Chains A and B, each alone.
Chain A
Amino acid sequence: MSDSIIKMKGVTKEFPGVKALKSVDLNIYKGKIMALLGENGAGKSTLMKILTGVYEKTTGEIILNGKPVQIKNTREAQNMGIAIIHQELNLISNLSIGENIFLGREPVNSFGKIEWSKLYKAAKLIMDRLGITEKPETLVGELSIGKQQMVEIAKALSLNAQVIVMDEPTGALTDKETDSLFRVIRELKAEGRSIVYISHRLKEIFQICDDVTILRDGQFIAEYPINDVNEDKIIELMVGRKLSEQYPRINCQLGENLLEVKNLTNAYVKDISFSIRSGEIVGLAGLMGSGRTELARTIYGVYGKDKGEIIVQGKAVDIKSPGQAIRNGISYVSEDRKGNGVVLGLNIKENISLSVLQKLSGIFGIIDKKKEENAALDSIQGMSIKTSGVKQLVKNLSGGNQQKVSLSKSLMTGPKILILDEPTRGVDVGAKKEIYDIINQFKQAGMSIIMISSEIPEILGMSDRIMVMHEGRISGCIEREQADQERIMRLAVGQREVTI
Chain B
Amino acid sequence: MKKALKEFLIKNKSFVVLVIFCIIVSIVNERFFTVSNILNILRQTSINSVIAVGMTFVILTGGIDLSVGSILAISGAVVAAMVSQGNNAFIAVIAALAIGAALGAFNGLIISKGKIQPFIATLGVMTLVRGYTLVFTDGKPISAGSSEAASAFSNIGAGYFLGIPLPIYIMIIVFGLAYYILKHTRTGRYVYSLGCNEEATIYSGINTDRIKILVYTISGLLAALAGIIITARLSSAQPQAGTGYELDAIAAVVLGGTSLAGGSGGIFGTVIGALIIGVLNNSLNLMDVSSYYQLLLKGLVILVAVLLDRKQKK
Contacts and interface: CB of A to CB of B under 8 A. Distances in A.
B114 interface: no
B204 A354 contact: yes
Contact of A413 (B186, B201, B205, B207): B205
Given A343-B193, A344-B196, A344-B197, A334 B187 contact: no
Provide the main secondary structure of the chain B interface: helix
B200 interface: yes
Interface stretch (A148-156, A356-364, A475-483): A356-364
Interface residues on B, range: 20 to 34
A323 B207 contact: yes
Contact of B189 (A300, A322, A323, A367): A367
Contacts of B263: 345
A326 interface: yes
Contacts of A334: 203
A358 B193 contact: no
B199 A340 contact: yes
Contacts of A396: none
Contact of B200 (A321, A341, A369): A341
B206 A345 contact: no
Nearest to B193: A343
A409 B193 CA distance: 14
Contact of B184 (A327, A332, A344, A367): A367
B186 A345 contact: no
A355 B197 contact: no
A332 B203 CA distance: 8
Given A339-B200, A343-B196, A350 B205 contact: no
A184 interface: no
Nearest to B196: A345
A342 interface: yes
A75 B230 CA distance: 55
Contact of B185 (A340, A350, A364, A409): A364
Interface string B197-231: 10111111111000000000000000000000000
B184 A366 contact: yes
A150 B300 CA distance: 47
Contacts of A17: none
Interface residues of A, number: 31
A469 to B, nearest CB: 21
A112 interface: no
A323 B205 contact: yes
Contacts of B190: 357
A42 B116 CA distance: 43
A365 interface: yes
B264 A354 contact: no
Given A321-B207, A323-B207, A350-B193, A343 B187 contact: no
Given A350-B189, A354-B189, A367-B189, A345 B184 contact: no
A332 B189 CA distance: 21
Interface string A90-101: 000000000000
A409 B203 CA distance: 11
Contacts of A342: 197, 200
Contacts of A340: 197, 199-200, 202-203
A240 B206 CA distance: 41
Contacts of B187: 365
A354 B193 contact: yes
A143 to B, nearest CB: 25
A302 interface: yes
Nearest to B206: A323
Contacts of B186: 357-358, 361, 365, 367
A325 interface: yes
A346 interface: yes
Interface string B252-281: 000000000001100000000000000000
A23 B199 CA distance: 39
A327 B205 CA distance: 9
B192 interface: yes
A325 B196 CA distance: 23
Nearest to B209: A321
A342 B189 CA distance: 14
A325 B205 contact: yes
A30 B190 CA distance: 53
A98 to B, nearest CB: 32
Max chain B Cβ within 10 angstroms of own Cβ: one of A327, A343, A367, A413: A343
A348 to B, nearest CB: 14
A62 B93 CA distance: 69
A346 B185 contact: no
Contacts of B189: 350, 354, 357, 367
Nearest to A325: B205
A343 B207 contact: no
B158 to A, nearest CB: 33
11 contacts: A300-B203, A321-B202, A332-B203, A342-B197, A343-B197, A343-B204, A345-B264, A355-B204, A357-B189, A364-B185, A367-B186
Given A341-B200, A345-B195, A355-B204, 10 more contacts: A300-B203, A321-B205, A340-B203, A341-B203, A343-B197, A345-B192, A346-B192, A355-B205, A357-B190, A367-B184
A-B pairs with lowest CB-CB distance, top 9: A345-B196, A365-B186, A323-B205, A340-B199, A326-B205, A365-B185, A340-B203, A355-B204, A357-B186
Interface of B: 184-187, 189-190, 192-193, 195-197, 199-207, 263-264
Interface of A: 300, 302, 321-323, 325-327, 332, 334, 339-346, 350, 354-355, 357-358, 361, 364-367, 369, 409, 413
